[in-house]
């Protein structure tokens, strides 16, 4: 949000987190928030839909919550936007590379068919399909972005890099699923903010566009763990290989779509990865302490 505010854009945040402060409106249930939501939408030029349950492990143990929040929540948001088409210029639907899970080769591009490997990724694919339906049926001005794995400060503790940092700083075993040879691409949260800021402030990207927020080349999970440990000056012996999670996707690979390049969307510079990761690790070191 600071990226948008730096461009003199007023930001109103809807959040279900009761600890949220500042200019955020607390949203426990979209339905019960209907009146205030419509009054807010009357003043908005754009909606950025970032709200999703996102941790695959929790989608295995609690799949219903992911459908309730990610699918039904998106449906309610799109419904709320319908009466405001005269003022709403853009709705950004934030999706994931996981809608094309477990690629054996090649990269996920706009032509690739959905292939989901978890309830989380299935719920994100459902969001994309709802977006397609609401573009065609109701002319909602939706642009979809897909993103690779994000890292950075203030990420939820359950995510991989924060977990490695937290466990390492406590000298506890660091759980790594299976062999740790799963492949992921990574992008800094700062770049994601820059990308979303660019899309939001660009008035030439048409509804229905599919934009990919790409990052590094593919990196094995075990290498990320070793790199973080090296930055923290902690021993590799802290790594503990645990039983692989159910249906674990072995590989994601997101390629830039033609539209992403045609509209001049910013590209993540892989040469900045280690510096960005080091800054991230430093932030968690200060949070968790040595």
Q: How large is the average pLDDT for residues 171-177?
A: 97
Q: Which two tokens stand for residue 5?
A: 């505010």
Residue 202 pLDDT greater than 50, yes or no: yes
Active site residue 172: no
pLDDT tens digits for range 65-105: 999 999 999 999 999 999 999 999 999 999 998 887 666 66
For domain 2-288, give the CATH superfamily: NAD(P)-binding Rossmann-like Domain (3.40.50.720)
pLDDT of residue 90: 95
Domain boundaries, the chain: 2-288
- Cβ atoms of 253 and 213 within 8 Å: the answer is no
Active site residue 120: yes
Q: Which residue has the higher pLDDT, 184 or 13?
A: 184
The rounded percent of the chain whose pLDDT value lies above 70 is 86
Residue 154 pLDDT greater than 50, yes or no: yes
pLDDT of residue 7: 64
* Cα–chain center distance at 257: 18
Q: Which of 120, 134, 268, 284 is an active site residue?
A: 120
Task: Collect all residues with Cβ–Cβ distance below 8 Å to 128 and sequence separation of at least 6.
Answer: 93, 95, 99, 114, 144
Q: Is 26 helix (H, G, I), strand (E, B) or coil?
A: strand
pLDDT of residue 281: 98
| pLDDT bracket for residue 24 (50, 70, 90) | very low
- Cβ atoms of 255 and 185 within 8 Å: the answer is no
pLDDT of residue 43: 86
pTM: 0.89
Q: Which of 98, 128, 249, 276 is an active site residue?
A: 98
- Cβ atoms of 70 and 256 within 8 Å: the answer is no
SS (H, E, C) 91-150: EEEEEEHHHECCCCCCCECCCCCCECCCHHHHHHHHHHHHHHHHHHHHCCCEEEEEECEE
Active site residue 97: yes
């Amino acid at each position: 949000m600071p990226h948008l505010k730096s461009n003199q854009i007023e930001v109103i945040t809807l959040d279900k987190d009761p600890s949220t402060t500042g200019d955020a409106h607390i949203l426990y249930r979209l339905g019960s928030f209907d009146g205030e939501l419509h009054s807010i939408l009357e003043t908005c030029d754009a909606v950025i839909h970032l709200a999703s349950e996102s941790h695959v492990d929790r989608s295995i143990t609690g799949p219903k919550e992911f459908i309730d929040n990610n699918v039904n929540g998106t449906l309610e948001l799109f419904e709320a936007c319908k009466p405001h088409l005269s003022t709403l210029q853009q709705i950004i639907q934030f999706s994931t590379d996981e809608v094309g899970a477990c690629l054996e080769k090649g990269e996920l591009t706009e032509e690739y068919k959905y292939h989901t490997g978890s309830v989380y990724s299935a719920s994100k694919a459902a969001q994309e399909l709802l977006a397609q339906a609401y573009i065609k049926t109701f002319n909602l001005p939706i642009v979809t972005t897909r993103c690779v794995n994000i890292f950075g400060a203030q990420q939820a503790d359950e995510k991989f890099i924060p977990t490695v940092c937290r466990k390492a700083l406590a000298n506890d075993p660091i759980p790594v699923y299976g062999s740790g040879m799963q492949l992921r691409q990574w992008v800094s949260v700062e770049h994601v903010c820059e990308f979303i800021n660019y899309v939001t402030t660009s008035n030439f990207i048409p509804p229905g566009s599919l934009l990919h927020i790409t990052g590094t080349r593919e990196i094995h999970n075990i290498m990320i763990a070793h790199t973080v440990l090296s930055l923290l000056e902690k021993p590799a012996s802290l790594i503990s290989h645990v039983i692989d999670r159910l249906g674990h996707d072995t590989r994601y690979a997101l390629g830039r779509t033609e539209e992403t390049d045609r509209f001049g969307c910013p590209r993540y510079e892989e040469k900045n990865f280690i510096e960005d990761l080091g800054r991230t690790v430093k932030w968690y070191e200060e949070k968790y302490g040595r």
